[in-house]
Amino acid sequence: MEMIIQWIIIIGLAAFILSRFLPAKGVENISSQEAQKLMKNKNCQFIDVRTPAEYKSNHRKPFKNIPLSNIATRSKELNRDKEVVLVCQSGMRSAKAAKILRKQGFSKIYNVKGGMSAWI
């Protein structure tokens, strides 16, 4: 019986850890090259979730700056019917932003893996 409880705890812990690193349902990780191809799509909106200082020092058009700390309150500036492409410096903050937007009803979200660090 003790062995079963230990296995349940281990499986639960593993599931929790995996859920923290896997993208949310409806969120697709894409490369910077794939993001560049999407820039031709008029049905996409491009959001950079870095701080204003990071954005000012290095950004790509047509990305609009909405810092991660403001994404929940400023999501009303975005069209829920359009696809959303998110970027940050490494891909971690944009993944968090993607989960926030997903919970707010956005259905098609792309996260640029590697962020601006991987931009070519």
**Could you tell me if residue 76 is inside a domain?**
yes
**Could you tell me if residue 8 is inside a domain?**
no
Could you give the residue numbers annotated as active site? 88
**Could you tell me if residue 32 is inside a domain?**
yes
- Report which of 110, 109, 116 is spatially closest to residue 58, judged by C-alpha positions: 116
Question: At which residue do the structure tokens 């593993």 appear?
Answer: 14
pLDDT digits (tens, 9 = 90+) for 3-58: 888 888 888 877 777 666 655 567 899 999 999 999 988 899 999 999 999 999 99
The number of distinct structural domains making up the chain is 1
The rounded distance, in Å, linking the Cα atoms of 106 and 98 is: 9
Q: What residues make up the domain containing 45? A: 26-118
pLDDT digits (tens, 9 = 90+) for 51-62: 999 999 998 899
Host H or E run for residue 12 = helix 2-21
Asked if residues 87 and 39 have their Cβ atoms less than 8 Å apart, the reply is no
Where residue 44 sits, what CATH number does that domain have? 3.40.250.10
pLDDT of residue 2: 82
pLDDT of residue 51: 97
**Could you tell me if residue 15 is inside a domain?**
no
Q: Which amino acid belongs to residue 86?
A: L
Query: Which pTM does this prediction carry?
Result: 0.80
The rounded distance, in Å, linking the Cα atoms of 96 and 86 is: 10
